[in-house]
Amino acid sequence: MNFSLTVLGTGGSAGLPQIGGADGAGDWGACDPAEPRNRRSRASVVIGAPEGNLLVDTGPEIRLQLTSQRIARIDAVLFTHAHADHIAGFDEIRILNRLLGAPMPAYADAACWAELHQRFDYAFKPWSGNGFFRPVLAERVVAAGQIVPILGLPVQLLDQDHGFMRSLGLRIGNLAYCTDVVRFAPEAFAALRGVQTLVIDCFTRGGPHPTHAHLAQVLEWVEALRPARTILTHMGPDMDFRSLCDALPAGIEPGYDGMVIEGV
Ligand SMILES: [Zn+2]
């Protein structure tokens, strides 16, 4: 399978720096402001598939993320879940519609679609076919456990426990993208066996978190799955890039905005 993965954003729900800080220029937590890879927008990726670009989630920085990565066209969108940091850029889909010249094929599970309909009701009114003045989606309802063909790739959807809700993980060939997960259902964890590149939620170096994996948990998963390469994402303010690079075992690294993984 030949595809690429561009990591658009690796931040937690508030991004980094968070709004605030002594001088108002941002609160970096334990992260070094001088390290550019500590500047993290909200979690999202683009999968460069054989038949186009699949955007996973539309966070609030999606316009800045796509322009800074020079991605000029999206051919399909998949939503992992309906938290604001994953959907707040939903309106930008109208620009992606204009570039595509068609309703945007979009994949989400039933719970996520219900939330999207409620929050963005205007986007789901009948479309006249006359221009894209609001997002227009070609809705595809999918479910965890399915393998869905998207843009020429078999995308296996994984059931993830995200604390107070479920989220979808993705496995494509030997790569998995699992953001916003605190625990895996046994079937989902079994479906991760054999993964060689694991992009995984790791919000904190501290103790357990109610909705996100913490570092000790990620290390346990890696011990069980033994992927060749593990890349951390959805990182919170205690996840300083350099000190993580120094502390993590071989094969595990913090991701950063703009990271590209080719030829997966
Ligand atoms: Zn979330």
Query: What mean pLDDT is predicted for residues 37-44?
Result: 98
Please give the pLDDT value at position 185.
Answer: 87
- List of long-range contacts for 162-167, beta carbons under 8 Å, 24+ apart: 162/81, 162/211, 162/212, 163/210, 163/211, 163/212, 164/210, 164/211, 165/81, 165/83, 165/111, 166/81, 166/109, 166/111, 167/80, 167/81
User: Is residue 32 pLDDT above 90, yes or no?
Assistant: yes
Residue 263 has pLDDT above 80, yes or no: no
Q: Total domain count for the chain?
A: 1
Q: Across residues 210-223, what is the average pLDDT?
A: 98
Ligand 1 midpoint to CA 209 (Å) = 12
Residue 150: pLDDT over 90: yes
* pLDDT tens-digit map of 231-258: 999 999 999 999 999 999 999 999 999 9
Q: For residues 28-46, give the mean pLDDT.
A: 98
* Mean pLDDT in residue range 221-228: 98
Q: Tell me what the mean pLDDT of segment 30-55 comes to.
A: 98
Q: Is the peptide bond before 208 cis (omega within 30 degrees of 0)?
A: no
- What pLDDT, on a 0 to 100 scale, did the predictor assign at position 119? 98
The percentage of the chain sitting over the pLDDT mark of 90, rounded to a whole number, equals 97
- On whether the CB atoms of residues 255 and 45 are closer than 8 A, the answer is no
Say how far apart CA 173 and CA 1 lie, in whole Å: 6
Q: Give backbone dihedrals phi and psi of 220, rounded to 5 degrees, phi first.
A: -65, -45
Tell me how far the alpha carbon of residue 64 is from its chain's centroid: 15
* Confidence at residue 1, expressed as pLDDT on a 0 to 100 scale: 78
Residue 264 pLDDT greater than 80, yes or no? no
On the question of pLDDT at 262 being above 90, the answer is: no
What percentage of the chain reaches a pLDDT higher than 70? 100
Taking the centre of ligand 1 as the mean of its atom positions, its distance from the CA of residue 84, in whole angstroms, is: 8
Distance from the alpha carbon of residue 7 to the mean position of ligand 1, in angstroms:
17
The whole-number pLDDT of residue 55 equals: 98
Q: Please tell me the predicted confidence (pLDDT) of residue 183.
A: 97
CATH number at residue 134: 3.60.15.10
Q: How far is the CA of 162 from the centre of ligand 1 (A)?
A: 7
To which residue do tokens 């964890």 refer? 189
Residue range 88-130, pLDDT digits in tens:
999 999 999 999 999 999 999 999 999 999 999 999 999 999 8
- The whole-angstrom separation of Cα 132 and Cα 129 is 8
Whether this prediction's pTM lies above 0.95 is answered by yes
Structure-token pair, residue 62:
């999606």
**83 CA to middle of ligand 1, Å?**
5
Q: Are 212 and 201 in contact (CB under 8 A)?
A: yes
Mean residue pLDDT across the chain: 97
The Cα-based distances of 88 to 15, 62, 85 in angstroms read 13, 9, 6
Whole-number Å distance, alpha carbon 129 to ligand 1 midpoint, is 33
Read off the pLDDT band of 142 (50, 70, 90): very high
Task: Please give the structure tokens belonging to residue 9.
Answer: 């954003």
Q: Compute, in angstroms, the gap from residue 15 CA to the centroid of ligand 1.
A: 13
Does pLDDT of 69 surpass 80?
Answer: yes
Domain that holds residue 76: 4-261
Closest CA to 102 of 91, 90, 93: 93
* Mean pLDDT, residues 179-195 taken together: 96
> What pLDDT does residue 2 have?
87
3-state SS, residue 190: helix
